[in-house]
Amino acid sequence: MCVAKVFQALEGIYMELWLIISIVYIIIMNIVGFASMGIDKHRAKKHVWRIPEKTLFLIAILGGSLGSLIGMQMFRHKTKHKQFIVGIPVILCLQVCLLGLLYYHMDNKETKKTGFAMGTVISSTVYGKDSDTVVEEIFDRLVELDTRQLSWREEGSSVAQWNQSLKEETAIPLSTEEQQWLQTSLELCKSSDGALDITIHPVIEAWGIEGDNPKVPTEEEIQQALDMTGYDQLFIDENGILYTEDNDLSIDLGSVGKGIAADRIRNYLDTQEVSGAIVSIGGTILVYGEKPGSREWQVGIQNPRGVQGTVLGMLSMKQSGVVSTSGDYEKYFIENGIRYHHIFNPSTGYPADSGLCSVTIVCEEGIISDGLSTACFILGYEKSLPLLEKYGAEGIFVTTDAQVYVTAGLRDAFELTSSDYTLKQ
């Protein structure tokens, strides 16, 4: 990775040097073009040897057309051939068009990268002058976000420290950013009547769904796990201190983590010279800025019963936003002929059974989009609609009997492409 960064830095230096040399060259050639017209006019007055028109024309062709044209007008230079008078403006127009195309190409340079971070595949496509360095920085920032803040597995991360402090019943001072994450997450939990619960981790552990040996726990094990959950027992005071009166609680931001990452990357892109980008962080996709040529962004919606990478439809997006999908196909195991997935209902401790196999949510904020996709999967289609309306979000719901429901704001933007599904109005 360090070697790659060195090469990118050298490439960036080379591009800047090339740009400086090009600008200096154009300036010099236009000075030469301007001066040559003045010198030739001065010689004409003295009736001495003049600069050949072919030479003047060549100077214009080689980049001095603007200076030549200004010199012709300022010195009232007269030529013997009308082609010369017409030719230089034409050359100037062609050179301006060429420079415009080169600038457009540099301003919309495309750079792609695919790798692994945050426990999932990350794919980035960035357009703009800084695209080479930006795609690398995106990965670095995602790794840093996960290891230093979001991952409960990392001993020194913020979440791991929170959980340790909760066990010890000690107050936890939060940064402004962390306070915002938790307040937004807890508000989502409350608004969804607990369908989303950031303290669900003991249930996940009881099922072992994230390990190598998942199993169906006993009723007693499930109840014990449920007794260790309850988002409503987490509190944040006016000073940004997190505390609880239940030391069995632990926080897992897995249901909103990819959305937090999307928001973090969007804020970073705002500071860079990029015109547009699309960043896939597992089931969450950030669409940023404009696609070159004013084209719409195309986001494929995974076919929940197809192989990875096959889509059931395409979503066209003109504006920036975050698209988050939760589905029962991401992690699951089969025991005694029954399929068990990883999205658990906090009220039962069992995988959600709402008649849905996939939910896609579209809105401006990643944390909202990610959290809503989980909550709506658990709630089901009908119960999700008031929640979406509250947050100004749109959704695509896929049922277990292959029906697809699309909310009003996405109906014109979504195209069903798989014949295995039926679009319902």
Residue 232: DSSP 8-state: G
Determine which of 40-54, 268-282, 312-326 has the lowest per-residue pLDDT on average: 40-54
The rounded distance, in Å, linking the Cα atoms of 164 and 156 is 10
pLDDT of the residue at 263? 97
Averaging pLDDT over each range in 23-27, 165-169, 306-310, 327-331, which range is the top one?
327-331
pLDDT of the residue at 16? 61
82 in Cβ contact with 90 (< 8 Å): no
What is the reported pTM? 0.79
Decide if pLDDT at 299 tops 90.
Answer: yes
pLDDT of the residue at 5? 47
pLDDT of the residue at 83? 57
Model confidence over 55-70: pLDDT tens digits?
877 777 777 777 777 7
Sign (positive/negative) of CA torsion 150, 154, 158, 161? positive
Model confidence over 190-244: pLDDT tens digits?
999 999 999 999 999 999 998 889 999 999 999 999 999 999 999 999 999 999 9
Model confidence over 340-353: pLDDT tens digits?
999 999 999 999 99
Please, which pLDDT band fits residue 162 given cuts at 50, 70 and 90?
very high
| Residue of 374, 268, 360 lying closest to 313 (CA atoms) | 360
The rounded distance, in Å, linking the Cα atoms of 44 and 80 is 12
Domains and CATH numbers, the chain: 2-107 (no CATH), 153-251 (1.10.3980.10)
314 in Cβ contact with 417 (< 8 Å): yes
78 in Cβ contact with 40 (< 8 Å): no
Determine which of 40-44, 94-98, 268-272, 302-306 has the lowest per-residue pLDDT on average: 94-98
Model confidence over 25-58: pLDDT tens digits?
778 877 887 888 788 777 777 777 777 777 877 7
pLDDT of the residue at 390? 97
158 in Cβ contact with 181 (< 8 Å): no
pLDDT of the residue at 2? 44
Residue 166: DSSP 8-state: H
Rounded mean pLDDT, 248-263: 95
Determine which of 101-105, 156-160, 369-373, 376-380 has the lowest per-residue pLDDT on average: 101-105
Strand 234-236, strand 241-244: pairing? antiparallel
pLDDT of the residue at 7? 44
The rounded distance, in Å, linking the Cα atoms of 142 and 124 is 12
Residue 58 to residues 25, 30, 283, Cα–Cα distance (Å): 15, 12, 58
Determine which of 41-45, 248-252, 295-299, 312-316 has the lowest per-residue pLDDT on average: 41-45
Decide if pLDDT at 395 tops 60.
Answer: yes
Model confidence over 114-155: pLDDT tens digits?
999 898 999 999 998 888 899 999 999 999 999 999 998 888
Strands, sheet with 234-236, edge to edge from the N-terminal-most edge strand: 172-173, 241-244, 234-236
| Residue of 347, 304, 349, 311 lying closest to 329 (CA atoms) | 304
Decide if pLDDT at 334 tops 80.
Answer: yes
CB atoms near residue 360 (< 10 Å): 27
